[in-house]
Amino acid sequence: MLQVSGATKIYNGQKIFSNLDLSVATGQFKILVGPSGCGKSTLFDGLTGVMGLDQGKISWNHTSLEHLGRHAAYMQQKDLLLPWFSLMENSLLPAKTGKQDMDRMKIMANKLFVRLGLNGYESHYPNEVSGGMRQRCALVRTLMFNRDLILLDEPLSALDAITRRSLQSLLLLLQTEFKKTILMITHDIEEALLLADEVCLLSNQPMVISESFILDQPKPRHFSDPDLLKIKAYMLAQLGGHNEIG
């Protein structure tokens, strides 16, 4: 389990969030939804040690940590692939930096390329493939860290709606097939309701979790479910009617 208590971050005299508490159960897919600029990405930067928290406690599996840097894989909005490396070389970066058995990690990467529909593109460079394929490669690289906890910072937001929908099913694989614990942030309400076990609604700064919604509908989900439509309408109203998908 991930447990965060009293998380506080102040930037240029402005409270981004203060005394924020958050927990994610082992194997859970939890999504934080909030308006752009509310501090979602800053929270992830604080949790992973990119910029650190001013106050707060973090524990993972009952062990207190300064940050999650070595305990979580962090996938950000941009794919951040190195343009001079092929897709396979990009996917193997965690193995190289972690000084792992490269032969074993290549076998793992090849299996993931097949599973995520990238087989045949191993030697292609990022500028030779679509945005969706680059993001698939970024997902392979995230899995190559072999961490039980994955943080996803709007990983599909840069993609067109059709590509985005096709990749949402791949995000579900992180939980169902790869048995990961997932904390994700987005401002797309539909995406959250389709993927999450629990959705937390965030306020504007100073950011707090204003409400939470437990979703026990089986996955994959569809918006023919009237309960999902009701939750979507309510969340849209709370966010002032702004949502990327609508």
Q: What is the mean pLDDT of residues 16-23?
A: 94
Cα–Cα separations (whole angstroms), residue 75 to 19, 80, 107: 25, 9, 22
**Enclosing domain of residue 204:** 1-71+149-246
Question: For residue 76, is it within any domain?
Answer: no
Q: Is the pLDDT of residue 245 over 90?
A: no
Which of 146, 179, 200 delimits the end of a domain?
146
If phi over 0 gives left and psi between -120 and 50 gives alpha, with beta otherwise, what is residue 137? alpha
pLDDT category at 244 given cuts 50, 70, 90 is very low
Q: Is the pLDDT of residue 37 over 90?
A: no
Q: Is the pLDDT of residue 178 over 60?
A: yes
Quickly list H helices, 3-150. Answer: 40-48, 87-91, 93-97, 102-115, 131-144
Q: Does one domain contain both 61 and 123?
A: no
DSSP 68: S
Q: What is the mean pLDDT of residues 26-43?
A: 92
Q: Is the pLDDT of residue 246 over 90?
A: no
Q: Is the pLDDT of residue 87 over 90?
A: yes
Q: Does one domain contain both 158 and 39?
A: yes
pLDDT category at 97 given cuts 50, 70, 90 is confident
Report the chain's mean pLDDT, rounded to a whole number.
90
Dihedral of alpha carbons 77, 33, 229, 194, sign: positive
Q: How many domains does the chain have?
A: 2
CATH classification at residue 11 = 3.40.50.300
Question: For residue 169, is it within any domain?
Answer: yes
Enclosing H/E stretch for 72: strand 72-75
Q: Does one domain contain both 37 and 123?
A: no
Q: Does one domain contain both 226 and 179?
A: yes
- Residue 6's pLDDT is 95
Q: Does one domain contain both 102 and 64?
A: no
Q: Is the pLDDT of residue 80 over 70?
A: yes
Q: What is the pTM of this model?
A: 0.91
Q: Does one domain contain both 57 and 176?
A: yes
Question: For residue 124, is it within any domain?
Answer: yes
CB 39 within 8 A of CB 17: yes
Q: Does one domain contain both 87 and 204?
A: no
Q: Does one domain contain both 161 and 227?
A: yes
Q: Does one domain contain both 6 and 25?
A: yes
pLDDT category at 100 given cuts 50, 70, 90 is confident
Cα–Cα separations (whole angstroms), residue 160 to 96, 132, 156, 164, 168: 32, 9, 9, 6, 12
Q: What is the mean pLDDT of residues 101-124?
A: 92
In the block, tokens 């930096």 appear at 97
Q: Does one domain contain both 86 and 5?
A: no
Residue 100: CB partners within 8 Å, gap ≥ 6?
94
- Residue 68's pLDDT is 93
